[in-house]
Amino acid sequence: MSHLGENSHILSEYTSMLPNFKDNVYTSQYCEENIYLLAQRMLAQPNIEGEWDINIIFISNPSRTVALWNQRASSSIYDAVIWDYHVILALRGSSAADRDDERGTWIYDLDTRLPVPYHWEEYVERTFPGHSDLPGQFQSLFRVVPCKVYLDSFASDRSHMIIDDPSLGPRYLAAPPAYPCICGPLAAAQGVSHNLMNDFVHMGGDVSGFGTVLDFASFKAWCSVSKPEISRGM
């Protein structure tokens, strides 16, 4: 049974305070910037912080080879895409102690073939099928970054998308967005112009950077608003 069908009425009560993701500026291959712009629009909505806990999720691993299914970049719904990293937004019902919150967690993946937003259980089931049976190099880790931290501290000069083509010289792997490079106010104040790969994507043995890095089981526990065992970054 579809979790979206079971829970869509819960989310529908709050859609008036949520921006329509279809109005979001979107640039293929720049998921971190697409989600940054969506997060800005989310946080600008009146009273949203009292109702929802907004987090940015970076998906990668030490080898930067994670397998995700139902991505639009795949030629078939049956084939996985191997990303070096991917970025989504998680909207989690605020678990205030004085009330019973049953809204759950909803995922905004702007590159999926699945509905957006989608209830986390269905999203995880269809995006990471048979995850525990995959070779380790294709299994995912999840860096959970609070929305405000991401908006303040993220910076990208897009240099990670530039390659040196022997015949053409330096060129972008994919056409960059038309708007200027993103640099959060705190990153700008610290003179940081590019921290995407080191502080957000990197998930090697010396885990540092922003947010908290979770394995697959701990990420599912986090989505279910329980208290997972976590490995904290700096």
pLDDT digits (tens, 9 = 90+) for 43-67: 998 888 888 899 999 999 999 999 9
109 part of the active site: yes
Give 140's pLDDT tier (boundaries 50, 70, 90). Answer: very high
Q: What percent of the chain has pLDDT over 70?
A: 85
Q: Which member of 53, 84, 86, 202 is catalytic?
A: 86
The answer to whether residue 31 is catalytic is yes
76 CB contacts (<8 Å, ≥6 apart)?
A: none
Q: Which of 109, 111, 183, 199 is catalytic?
A: 109
Residue 9: the pLDDT is 58
pTM of the prediction?
A: 0.88
Confirm if 142 and 55 have CB atoms less than 8 A apart: no
**How deeply is 98 buried, as exposed, middle or buried, from its count of CB atoms within 10 A (0-12, 13-18, 19+)?**
exposed
pLDDT(231) > 50: no
Name the active-site residue from 3, 9, 23, 31: 31
Cis amide prior to 62 (ω within 30 degrees) = no
